[in-house]
Copies of this chain bind each other. A is one copy, B any other.
Amino acid sequence: MSAKGAETKQRMIEATRASIERRGYFGTGLNQILADSDTPRGSLYFHFPGGKDELVAAAVTRSTGSIEAAIQAADITDPAAAFTGLITLLGDRLEESGWVCGCPIATVALEVAGENDTVQRACAEVYDRWTQALRVVLRATGRADADDLAVALLALVEGGLVLAQAQRSRAPLDSVSRVARTML
C-alpha cells in the first residue's frame, strides 16, 4: 500500500473510532465516515473488503490505547489511588464530552456482540487486554484474588460509566471509586 493509501486507511479508522464511541454501531453511517475522513467511496472496499464490520472491528481495536496506557502507568504500590485516578480520568472525559464519551467500545459491544462475530472478537480482545493490564498490576501487589479482582474492577469501571452516562452525573463514579478503595 502507498503511503497515501495507508494514511487514508488510518483516517477512516480514526473517524470510525470517534463515531462508534459517540453513536455506536447502528448510529454510525458509512456515508458519514466517508465525509468525516474526506475519503472517496471506492476507498472503503479497497481498504476494508469486509465492509462496515471490518472497519468497525479495526476501530474497536484502535480504541484499546488510552485506557490500557492509563492502567499500565498505574503506581502499583498504591492500587487504590491508581484506580481512583483512572475513574477520575474517565469521569473528566465523559463530562467534558457532554456525557457521550464513556467506554469507547461498550456501545458497540452491547449492540452487536451477540450477533456479529467480527465485531465481537475485536471487543472481546480489547476487554481481555484491559483485564490483563489490571491483572498485572494486582498480581504485583501479591493479592491471591488478583484474577477475579481485575475483572471486577473493570466491571466497576464499565458499569460506573453506564450509570454516569445515563444519569449525566459523576455521582455513580464517585460511589464506585469509594467502594473500590475499600476493596484495594
CA of A99 to CA of B112 in the docked complex: distance in angstroms?
10
Task: Tell which of B114, B158, B160 touches A100, judged by Cβ atoms closer than 8 Å.
Answer: B114
Kindly identify which residue among B127, B151, B162, B182 contacts A109, using a CB–CB cutoff of 8 Å.
B162
How would residues 136 to 168 of chain A score, 1 for a CB under 8 Å from any chain B CB and 0 otherwise? 000000000101110110111111101101111
- Report how far A27 CA is from B100 CA in the complex, Å: 18
Whether A176 touches B151, Cβ cut-off 8 Å, given contacts A26-B24, A26-B27, A100-B114, is yes
- For residue A97, which residue of chain B has the nearest CB? B114
CA of A110 to CA of B109, assembled, Å: 11
CB pair B175 A183 closer than 8 Å:
no
Is A120 among interface residues, defined by CB-CB distance under 8 A?
Answer: yes
Residue of B nearest to A21 (CB): B110
| CB-defined contacts of A40 to chain B, threshold 8 Å | none
- Using a CB-CB cutoff of 8 Å, which residues 100-155 of chain A contact chain B? 100, 102-103, 105-107, 109-111, 113-115, 120, 123-124, 127-128, 131, 145, 147-149, 151-152, 154-155
Q: With A109-B166, A155-B156 given, can you name 12 additional A-B contacts, CB distance below 8 Å?
A: A24-B26, A24-B111, A123-B166, A124-B166, A151-B176, A151-B179, A152-B156, A152-B180, A155-B155, A155-B158, A158-B159, A159-B160
Residue pairs across A and B with Cβ atoms less than 8 A apart, 19 shown, are: A24-B110, A26-B27, A26-B111, A98-B114, A99-B114, A100-B115, A110-B165, A111-B111, A113-B165, A120-B166, A120-B168, A124-B166, A145-B182, A151-B171, A152-B175, A152-B179, A155-B160, A156-B159, A162-B162
- Write the residues of chain A forming the contact surface with B, with a CB cutoff of 8 angstroms: 22-27, 97-100, 102-103, 105-107, 109-111, 113-115, 120, 123-124, 127-128, 131, 145, 147-149, 151-152, 154-160, 162-163, 165-168, 171-172, 175-176, 178-180, 182-183
